[in-house]
Amino acid sequence: MFDRLSSKFSSIFSRFSSGSRITEQSLDEALGKVRDALLEADVPFEVIESFTQEIRQEVIGQKLINSMKPAELLVKIVHDKMVTFLGGASTSGFSFQFPATIMVLGLQGSGKTTTLGKLALMFKEQAEARGKKRHIMVASVDYYRPAAIDQLEILAKKAGVLFYRSQETDPVAAAIDIKAYAKKELVDVLLLDTAGRLHIDETLLGELKKIDTAVNPNYKILVLDGMIGQESLAVAKAFDTSVGFMGALLTKMDSDTRGGVAFAFRYALKKPILFAATGEKLEDLQPFRPERMASRIMGMGDLQTLFEQAEKKIKLQDQERLSRSMSKGFTLDDFAATMSMMNSLGSLSSITKYLPGNLGLKVTPEQGEVLEKEMKKFKAIMSSMTPKERMIPSLLDGSRKKRIAQGAGVTPTDVNTLLARFEQIKQYATLMRKMGKHGS
Ligand SMILES: Nc1nc2c(ncn2[C@@H]2O[C@H](COP(=O)(O)OP(=O)(O)O)[C@@H](O)[C@H]2O)c(=O)[nH]1
Ligand SMILES: [Mg+2]
């Protein structure tokens, strides 16, 4: 998600090394680059202007120019501003209150039907995780596209949720029938799919309004194709004035999405972005967390997302230790835990995008292999160290390094490489902790 934007931002701020001063000139230069990066990401001009102006004011307001304060503060200001622009610092994410009827709106091809299947699966898994059984039903009033309803039926089967096909053929009558059926069957969550067109048109909006009135959903969600960029604004505004909705769900964020849609939508509509879809599979749906998104864009990695993905795959106790250490201090033991967690997560190239700094650069499969070999070495090295050495690596002197290298069957250079890598990650962990992004 936002990979291109993210690599731009990483290069802007990597120039501000720790301890360097911010000058008026370097600030303007950096903000100019921020502007370019956002323009290229298809963020609307007025959004960029207000974004950079607010940052400038804050830097001046906080008297950062020529101060001895480290340039990290500038990074923090930009980061925090980005969080605000993307939706605020709430870390809990959005949660629905059930029982509920949820209706999706959006243009044809934006991903409504696919998304409905994803939401259904997510609700089902959430209930199962709490040992509850939830009656989840999906239904559609899309009578315009042939096979649109069949598509939903297939998704419902995959997700393992109920599906209902109304015999009515008028969308409004079908909507009323569906709602009544759901009530009769004591459905907890009714997910209603609607038709879209390739362009906003009055007939579509008029019909949606009638369906809205007939069904009176608790939640209306606008599904926005993340690939369409600024154009999404007109779509969002048209749906908002005619039918209304409470928040948006961005799809296709796995594609080479430039990020503009998130900024544009938030700025113009002031409504939350609730979820981001990142693929065609049913599992490819995540809560949209402005804070994490901002960290990703700024190249600070998204360890929290990595933890979340890992949650299903690794033992809780490993993970707890890891997130605890992220919020306190970072030792080689944690580094080792991170590595074994990464091993259990899958190929390196698929997960490195969540890692901060240099490790977060795009990794080709070949580079991935090299890194994986390196990691095996690192593991061997660490198992040759004493627990105390893993806690305080600075204890290692030349002769200990040699002994450890021998024990692990590697060279002393490998030991130094490991320590350098570790320092790098530790610095990021420390920076992120300072910025209070973890442990919340
Ligand atoms: N890559 C990717 N494709 C998606 C995503 N969501 C939906 N699609 C694809 O977009 C196309 C249109 O999706 P569909 O759900 O039929 O859109 P609808 O017309 O709004 O119901 C399908 O080919 C989906 O597989 C996503 O998050 N990522
Ligand atoms: Mg559809």
- How far is the centre of ligand 2, averaged over its atoms, from the C-alpha of 183 (Å)? 24
* Residue 122 neighbours by CB under 8 Å, 6+ apart: 285
Residues of the chain short of pLDDT 70, as ranges, are: 1, 3, 14-20, 65-72, 89-93, 258, 299-330, 337-365, 367-368, 424-425, 427-440
Confidence at residue 271, expressed as pLDDT on a 0 to 100 scale: 93
Reading the block at residue 223, the tokens are 């599904």
Neighbours of ion ligand 2 (CB under 5 A): 112-113, 148
In this structure, are 281 and 323 located in the same domain?
no
- How far is the centre of ligand 2, averaged over its atoms, from the C-alpha of 165 (Å)? 14
- How far is the centre of ligand 1, averaged over its atoms, from the C-alpha of 354 (Å)? 24
Residue of the CA atom closest to atom 25 of ligand 1? 280
Confidence at residue 420, expressed as pLDDT on a 0 to 100 scale: 80
Dihedral-angle region of residue 164 (phi above 0 means left; psi in -120 to 50 means alpha; beta otherwise): beta
Domain termination residue (choose one: 297, 319, 336): 297
- How far is the centre of ligand 1, averaged over its atoms, from the C-alpha of 193 (Å)? 13
- How far is the centre of ligand 1, averaged over its atoms, from the C-alpha of 227 (Å)? 11
Per DSSP, the three-state class of 391 is helix
Residue of the CA atom closest to atom 1 of ligand 1? 279
pTM given for the model: 0.71
| Closest ligand 1 atom to Cα of 145 | 19
Which residues have C-beta atoms less than 6 Å from ligand 1? 106, 108-114, 196, 251-252, 254-255, 277-280, 284
CB atoms within 10 A of CB 331: 17
Residues 107, 287, 88, 29: is their CA dihedral positive or negative?
negative
Confidence at residue 330, expressed as pLDDT on a 0 to 100 scale: 67
| Closest ligand 1 atom to Cα of 278 | 27
- Residue 267 belongs to some domain of the structure: yes
Domain containing 209 equals 100-297
| Closest ligand 1 atom to Cα of 107 | 20
Reading the block at residue 230, the tokens are 């600024």
| Closest ligand 1 atom to Cα of 108 | 19
Q: Which residues of 240-257 are buried (b: 16+ CB within 10 A; e: fewer)?
A: bebbebebbbbbbbbeeb
In this structure, are 70 and 191 located in the same domain?
no
Confidence at residue 306, expressed as pLDDT on a 0 to 100 scale: 54
DSSP structure class, residue 22: B
In this structure, are 290 and 363 located in the same domain?
no
- Residue 419 belongs to some domain of the structure: yes
What is the number of structural domains in the chain?
Answer: 3
Q: What is the DSSP string of 232-298?
A: HHHHHHHHHHHT--SEEEEE-TTSS--SHHHHHHHHHH---EEEEE-SSSTT-EEE--HHHHHHHHT
Confidence at residue 440, expressed as pLDDT on a 0 to 100 scale: 33
Q: Which residues of 344-360 are buried (b: 16+ CB within 10 A; e: fewer)?
A: ebeebbebbbbbbbebb
In this structure, are 155 and 8 located in the same domain?
no
CATH number at residue 239: 3.40.50.300
Q: Residue with structure tokens 């490489």?
A: 417
- CA 410, chain centre distance (Å): 38
CATH number at residue 391: 1.10.260.30
CB atoms within 10 A of CB 185: 12
In this structure, are 281 and 309 located in the same domain?
no
Residue of the CA atom closest to atom 19 of ligand 1? 109
In this structure, are 186 and 253 located in the same domain?
yes
In this structure, are 132 and 184 located in the same domain?
yes
In this structure, are 109 and 241 located in the same domain?
yes
Rounded to whole angstroms, the Cα distance separating 220 from 211 reads: 12
Of the listed ligands, the closest to the CA of 116 is 1
Q: What is the phi/psi pair of residue 23, to 5°?
A: -110, 165
**Which of 114, 154, 200, 281 to mutate to test ligand 1, by most ligand atoms within 8 A of the CB atom?**
114
Rounded to whole angstroms, the Cα distance separating 98 from 96 reads: 6
| Closest ligand 1 atom to Cα of 285 | 27
- Residue 252 belongs to some domain of the structure: yes
In this structure, are 257 and 131 located in the same domain?
yes
- How far is the centre of ligand 2, averaged over its atoms, from the C-alpha of 230 (Å)? 22
Q: Residue with structure tokens 């390739």?
A: 198
In this structure, are 48 and 104 located in the same domain?
no
- How far is the centre of ligand 2, averaged over its atoms, from the C-alpha of 113 (Å)? 4
| Closest ligand 1 atom to Cα of 109 | 19
Per DSSP, the three-state class of 1 is coil
Q: Residue with structure tokens 């290069």?
A: 11
Q: Residue with structure tokens 């020529």?
A: 66
- Residue 95 belongs to some domain of the structure: no
- Residue 196 belongs to some domain of the structure: yes
Name the amino acid, one letter, at 406. Answer: Q
Residue of the CA atom closest to atom 4 of ligand 1? 280
Domain termination residue (choose one: 86, 110, 133): 86
**Which of 191, 280, 286 to mutate to test ligand 1, by most ligand atoms within 8 A of the CB atom?**
280
- Write the pLDDT tens digit of every residue in 119-138: 999 999 999 999 999 999 99
Instruction: Say if strands 162-164 and 136-140 run parallel, antiparallel, or are unpaired.
Output: parallel
In this structure, are 267 and 338 located in the same domain?
no
- How far is the centre of ligand 1, averaged over its atoms, from the C-alpha of 49 (Å)? 32
- Residue 91 belongs to some domain of the structure: no
Of the listed ligands, the closest to the CA of 142 is 2
Residue of the CA atom closest to atom 7 of ligand 1? 111
Angle, CA 174 vertex, CA 142 and CA 162 arms, to 5°: 80
CATH number at residue 11: 1.20.120.140
- How far is the centre of ligand 1, averaged over its atoms, from the C-alpha of 109 (Å)? 6
Of the listed ligands, the closest to the CA of 109 is 1
Q: Which residues of 308-325 are buried (b: 16+ CB within 10 A; e: fewer)?
A: bbbeeebeeeebeebbeb
* Residue 354 neighbours by CB under 8 Å, 6+ apart: 296, 301, 302, 303, 305, 306, 309, 360
Residue of the CA atom closest to atom 10 of ligand 1? 111
Rounded to whole angstroms, the Cα distance separating 11 from 238 reads: 37
Please state at what angle helix 412-434 crosses helix 365-383, rounded to 10 degrees. 100
- Residue 226 belongs to some domain of the structure: yes
In this structure, are 108 and 243 located in the same domain?
yes
The total number of residues shown for the chain amounts to 440
**Cβ proximity of 236 and 212 under 8 Å:** no
Rounded to whole angstroms, the Cα distance separating 350 from 37 reads: 24
* Residue 320 neighbours by CB under 8 Å, 6+ apart: none
**Cβ proximity of 259 and 2 under 8 Å:** yes
Domain termination residue (choose one: 235, 263, 297): 297
Reading the block at residue 381, the tokens are 């090295």
| Closest ligand 1 atom to Cα of 251 | 27
- Residue 401 belongs to some domain of the structure: yes
Largest CA distance in the chain: 82
